[in-house]
Amino acid sequence: MKVNSSDLEAALKVTHVTVGSASDISSHYTFRERGGRLEVLSYDGRTFSSCLVPNVTPDDGATFTVEARRIHMMLESVGANQSLEVSVADSEVVVKGPRGKVTFSSLDPAMFPYWDDVLSGAKTTATIQADRLSAAFNHAKQFIYDQEGKAPHLCLAEFRKGVLHSTDQMAVSLVRVPGMEESGLRVYVKDLGNLLSFLGTAKGTDVEVLETDRAFFLRRPDGAVFGETLYNHSFPPVNVDWDLVDDETWEVPQEDLLAAIKFLQSGAKLDEPRVRFHREGESLTLSMVSVSGKPLPLTLTLTSVVQKDGAKGVPDFSVTDVYLGKMLNGNVNPKIKLGVTKKSAGGWVRIMDDRGPDTYLTTLAWLKTA
């Protein structure tokens, strides 16, 4: 059969992220004829993917494997839009191209853990724009706990009733995504990169979300699939009051706040990541501990301050500097509102913003009251 090198690379762009590193079939691509088309599949032990190779007519029943790293090396040497002739005999795969002939060893394709039956039994729970789903997970991944031995139930991001939940025990990220209300999609922290890579190949299109009690799948309009074996743990129950009114709400130009943080970081001690907040009227003073050990302050002018009826105001507080930048990643609003609330001996600062039809709410705990 004849294969265009660029067509093959386009398919492998989908499946390369789920290639394993063990010295078994997980380190190979598995190819098979399916419905008169050539499909390539890979599986790394937890995540898996498949994609049709365009413009190829394989022999009936053709199936073989090729070690992933070797086929990538060959394609890199061949270049774009080159005609390749592929033939399979016993356990050998011969590829002829403009630079000559190379022979690869094929493992037994029957050893590959195909997921056809699981996918055929999966229920469609959502059809959603890939860009929106990618943006939600990109935000959530900044706030996911990664110490599985201590709290495995926090090492994931999970949809509940249309809201994507994640936390790293310092901040909580909630992203409300209309259209995901029926989905229970949950992704293990170490598999998020693979999922985001797949969504990146689906930009500008909708993806179908399919779920079973064993795995979830995302499917592009052209049939390409990414999936993950279901993570054993689930995110703990969280009650969210989207209409909660904070003790105080401060409006500030986003550009001013980000510039202030960078300015303070430039002169702060490396082992002192705390940013202290102090408000007087419409003046907001941020400060960090300088290299000399003295306070390094910078004052901003708030564009508005709103206090909740009956609130007694909030004391000075501190948060970690890098979290302020994380909370604002992807926020394009020129002015942001910081919701500040004292709670018992501590408190929080939070930011809520709309990004198209989706609502992002990120809450950061105070390190301590000052």
Give yes or no: residues 123 and 138 share one domain. yes
On the CB side of 120, CA atoms within 13 Å amount to 4
Answer whether residue 16 is part of any domain.
yes
Answer whether residue 18 is part of any domain.
yes
Answer whether residue 243 is part of any domain.
no
Answer whether residue 223 is part of any domain.
yes
* Tally of CB atoms within 10 A around 41: 23
pLDDT in tens, 41-77: 999 999 999 999 999 999 889 999 999 999 999 999 9
Give CA–CA dist 63/173, Å, rounded.
Answer: 44
Residue 369, pLDDT > 60, answer: no
Q: CB of 281 within 8 A of CB of 360?
A: no
Residue 314, pLDDT > 50, answer: yes
pLDDT in tens, 105-119: 999 999 999 999 999
Residues paired with 166 in a beta bridge? 173
The CATH code of the domain that includes 360 is 3.10.150.10
Give CA–CA dist 307/279, Å, rounded.
Answer: 13
Q: CB of 49 within 8 A of CB of 198?
A: yes
Global pTM reads 0.94
* Boundary-marking domain end, from 170, 194, 229: 229
Sorting pLDDT into bands at 50, 70 and 90, what band is 370? Answer: very low
Mean pLDDT of 16-35: 96
Shortest CA distance to 277 belongs to which of 352, 350, 361, 366?
366
Give yes or no: residues 295 and 324 share one domain. yes
* Boundary-marking domain end, from 60, 81, 111: 111
State in Å, rounded, how far the first CA of the chain is from the last one. Answer: 72
Give yes or no: residues 167 and 220 share one domain. yes
Give yes or no: residues 107 and 131 share one domain. no
Answer whether residue 123 is part of any domain.
yes
* Boundary-marking domain end, from 50, 80, 111: 111
pLDDT in tens, 192-231: 999 999 999 999 999 999 999 999 999 999 999 999 999 9
Q: Would you state the pLDDT for residue 311?
A: 86
Give yes or no: residues 29 and 43 share one domain. yes
Q: Which domain holds residue 174?
A: 116-229
Give yes or no: residues 95 and 169 share one domain. no
Q: CB of 109 within 8 A of CB of 32?
A: yes
Give yes or no: residues 260 and 365 share one domain. yes
Answer whether residue 93 is part of any domain.
yes
Give yes or no: residues 139 and 223 share one domain. yes
Give yes or no: residues 104 and 164 share one domain. no
What amino acid occupies position 338?
L
Give yes or no: residues 121 and 219 share one domain. yes
Answer whether residue 23 is part of any domain.
yes
Answer whether residue 236 is part of any domain.
no
Compute the 3-state secondary structure of the chain and give helix, strand, coil in percent, each to the nearest 5. Answer: 25, 40, 35
Burial of 114 (0-12, 13-18, 19+ CB in 10 A): middle
Q: What is the rounded (10 degree) CA torsion for 354, 359, 365, 369?
A: 40
Give yes or no: residues 86 and 128 share one domain. no
Alpha helices (runs of H) in the chain, residue ranges in sequence order: 5-15, 68-78, 116-120, 130-140, 192-200, 254-267, 321-328
What amino acid occupies position 186?
R
Give yes or no: residues 184 and 73 share one domain. no
**Number of independent structural domains in the chain:** 3
Mean pLDDT of 349-356: 96
